[in-house]
Structure 1
Amino acid sequence: MDKTQGVKLTPVAPSEVSKEWLADQGMTQALLYYWDHIEAYPYHAPSPREIEMEQLFEAYWFGETVAVHFYRLDHGWQVIWCTETGTEECLDERQFIQRMDDFGKTLCIRNYLEADEDGQFHVVYTRPLKLEANLGSSKGGE
Structure 2
Amino acid sequence: MKTYKHLEVREIAAEIPELKKRAAQYPYMIAHMYSDIQCGENVHDEINWDELVELRAFDEKGELHIYEQNGGLKAVEITETEDCKEDTVVKYYPVRKAVCASAKRCVLAVKEYLEDDEDGQAVVVYTRPFGLEAKAE
- List per-residue Cα deviations over 1:56-102 (Å, max 9, x = no partner): 21110001101000110014111010000123211111000125264
TM-score by length of 2: 0.83
* SS of match in other structure, 1:88: helix
Does the aligned pair in 1 maintain the 2:92–2:107 contact within 8 Å?
yes
Contact between 1:97 and 1:103, CA under 8 Å: does it hold in 2?
A: no
Q: Aligned equivalents of 1:78 and 1:56: distance in 2?
A: 11
The Cα of 1:8 is off from its aligned counterpart by 1.2
SS in 2 for 1:87: helix
Distance 2:110 2:88 in 1: 10
Aligned residues: 130
Structure 1: gaps (5+ residues): 138-142
Matched, 1:54 2:50: yes
Q: Percent identity?
A: 28
SS in structure 2 of the partner of residue 14 of structure 1: coil
Q: What is the aligned counterpart of 2:90 among 89, 92, 116?
A: 92
Q: TM-score, normalised by structure 1?
A: 0.80
1:117 is paired with a residue of what secondary structure? coil
Runs of 4+ in 1 over 4 A off after TM superposition: none
Q: CA deviation at 1:22?
A: 4.2
Distance 1:30 1:3 in 2: 24
Q: RMSD value over aligned CA atoms?
A: 2.0
